[in-house]
């Protein structure tokens, strides 16, 4: 089956020095960069303001790599050249200073000595950052095609395990409430069995933060072989899951060893799920509104009805 090549990085135009967009692309690209390029990314993310002031050779030295690697890093994140990168980083530093004021940004992971107050600050900061970066990196054209595919599908099968299964269940519940034929599969064998029944006109949507979970990748590949439109929701745009999909929706949330499977990744996934669902619901606005009212009303009526009393048993 002919397959649309997923974008290497969900990109804004290279000429756009958007602070949020550039940093989002760097964070999204990080897991799939070569080790030397990753060192450049980590040096930039550690202090965008200071990196913006460095010459290309100084940044290369800081990252213990070469000038050529820094240039490859620029191309990997869709930045035209090094001066453009410095401009974007300067804008990023100014933006973050405006958002945080004099308060320094909390560290990414939780340390053994953090107070409960510091833990709250770090978690909330990182979750807000994930939402901002995910929004900045959304490829609206790809999202629109995903909306069209789901809205026109005869059947939608959703695959996800672990923490991603909860996100899949949220989408399933939303689609089911507006009368869409949707299923959620969190077991590998059940997912493969379901995928075997799909065909052209159906949609398979797989969710995996890493994009490398075999229990999710294999059912999506099986659905593609049957001719279904395949959609991946992942944090890594060059992962096995993304390469197996027709359409790739990319989050930008960084998990750490202490908080693997943390809420931050699910919040970013849920935000894109909401965008997808609202787009689908909008396609049939009146019918969606009526379906939501019916499903809401059914629950409310049951709550108001008194439970039937049982007749005395005579015992």
Give 167-209 pLDDT, tens digit per residue: 999 999 999 999 999 999 999 999 999 999 999 999 999 999 9
User: Left (φ > 0), alpha (ψ -120 to 50) or beta: where does 27 sit?
Assistant: alpha
pLDDT at residue 211, as a whole number: 93
Tokens read off for 81: 């050249």
pLDDT of residue 24: 75
Res 299: pLDDT: 73
Confidence at 307, pLDDT banded by 50, 70, 90: low
> Mean pLDDT, to the nearest integer, of 273-297?
87
Q: What is the pLDDT of residue 17?
A: 40
User: What is the per-residue pLDDT for 284?
Assistant: 84
State if pTM tops 0.95.
no
- The predicted pLDDT at position 304 comes to 61
308: left (phi over 0), alpha (psi -120 to 50) or beta: beta
pLDDT at 255: 59
Task: Please tell me the predicted confidence (pLDDT) of residue 107.
Answer: 53
pLDDT value of position 23: 79
Residue 88: C-alpha distances to residues 18, 48, 79, 315 (Å): 6, 9, 9, 81
Higher pLDDT, 94 or 240: 240
Higher pLDDT: 301 or 142? It is 142
Residue 11 reports pLDDT greater than 60:
no
Region 18-24: what's the mean pLDDT?
Answer: 66
Residue 220 scores a pLDDT above 90:
yes
Range with the poorest average pLDDT among 87-96, 160-169, 251-260: 251-260
Q: Where are the alpha helices (DSSP H) in 138-187?
A: 140-151, 163-177
Could you say which DSSP state residue 111 is in?
A: P
> Residues with Cβ < 8 Å from 184, sequence gap 6 or more?
158, 160, 165, 168, 169, 171, 172
> Per-residue pLDDT for 3 more than 70?
no
At residue 106, the pLDDT reads 52
**CATH class belonging to 140-300:** alpha beta
CATH number of 9-102: 1.10.10.10
| Rounded Cα gap, residues 11 and 137, in angstroms | 6
Residue of 131 and 297 predicted with greater confidence: 131
Question: Is residue 95 within a helix (H) or strand (E), and if so which, with residue range?
Answer: helix 82-100
Q: How large a percentage of the chain has pLDDT more than 70? A: 81
Sort strands 203-208 and 156-159 into parallel, antiparallel or unpaired: parallel
| Domain locations along the chain | 9-102, 140-300
The pLDDT, as a whole number, for residue 16 is 42
**d(Cα 253, Cα 27) in Å, to the nearest integer?**
8
Highest mean pLDDT among 3-7, 104-108, 204-208, 291-295: 204-208
Distances (CA, A) of 98 to 91, 94, 186, 224: 11, 6, 42, 46
Residue found under tokens 């900045």: 136
- Cα 36 to the center of its chain, rounded Å: 25
CA separation for the pair 47, 53 (Å, rounded) = 10
pLDDT value at position 225? Answer: 97
- Identify which of 212, 207, 206 has the alpha carbon closest to the alpha carbon of residue 224: 206
Q: Nearest-CA neighbor of 166 among 203, 209, 228? A: 209
Element housing 116 (H / E): helix 116-137
Average pLDDT over residues 92-98: 73
Most confident residue range from 41-50, 189-198, 284-293: 189-198
In this structure, what are the phi and psi dihedrals at residue 27, rounded to the nearest 5 degrees? -65, -40
Q: 168: which 2 tokens?
A: 């899949």
């Amino acid at each position: 089956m002919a397959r649309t090549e997923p974008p290497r990085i969900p990109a804004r135009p290279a000429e756009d020095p958007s602070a949020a967009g550039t940093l989002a692309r760097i964070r999204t690209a990080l897991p799939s960069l070569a080790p030397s390029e990753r060192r450049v990314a980590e040096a930039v993310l550690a202090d965008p303001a200071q990196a913006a002031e460095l010459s290309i050779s100084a940044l290369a030295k800081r990252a213990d790599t070469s000038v050529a690697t820094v240039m490859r890093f620029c191309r990997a994140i869709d930045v035209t050249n090094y001066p453009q990168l410095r401009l974007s980083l300067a804008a990023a530093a100014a933006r973050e200073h405006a958002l945080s004021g004099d308060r320094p940004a909390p560290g990414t992971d939780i340390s053994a000595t953090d107070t409960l107050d510091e833990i709250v600050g770090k978690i909330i900061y990182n979750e807000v950052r994930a939402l901002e970066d995910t929004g900045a990196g959304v490829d609206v054209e790809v999202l629109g095609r995903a909306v069209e595919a789901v809205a026109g599908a005869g059947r939608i099968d959703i695959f996800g395990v672990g923490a991603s299964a909860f996100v899949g269940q949220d989408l399933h519940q939303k689609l089911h409430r507006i009368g869409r034929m949707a299923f959620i599969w969190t077991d590998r064998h059940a997912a493969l069995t379901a995928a075997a029944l799909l065909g052209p006109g159906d949609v398979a949507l797989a969710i995996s933060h890493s994009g490398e979970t075999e229990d999710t990748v294999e059912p999506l590949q099986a659905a593609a072989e049957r001719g279904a439109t395949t959609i991946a929701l992942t944090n890594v745009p060059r992962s096995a899951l993304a390469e197996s999909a027709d359409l790739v929706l990319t989050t930008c949330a960084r998990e750490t060893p202490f908080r693997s499977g943390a809420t931050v990744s699910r919040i970013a996934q849920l935000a894109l799920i909401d965008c997808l669902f609202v787009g689908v619901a909008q396609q049939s606005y009146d019918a969606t509104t009526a379906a939501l009212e019916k499903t809401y009303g059914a629950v409310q009526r049951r709550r108001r009805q008194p439970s039937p009393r049982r007749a005395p048993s005579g015992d």
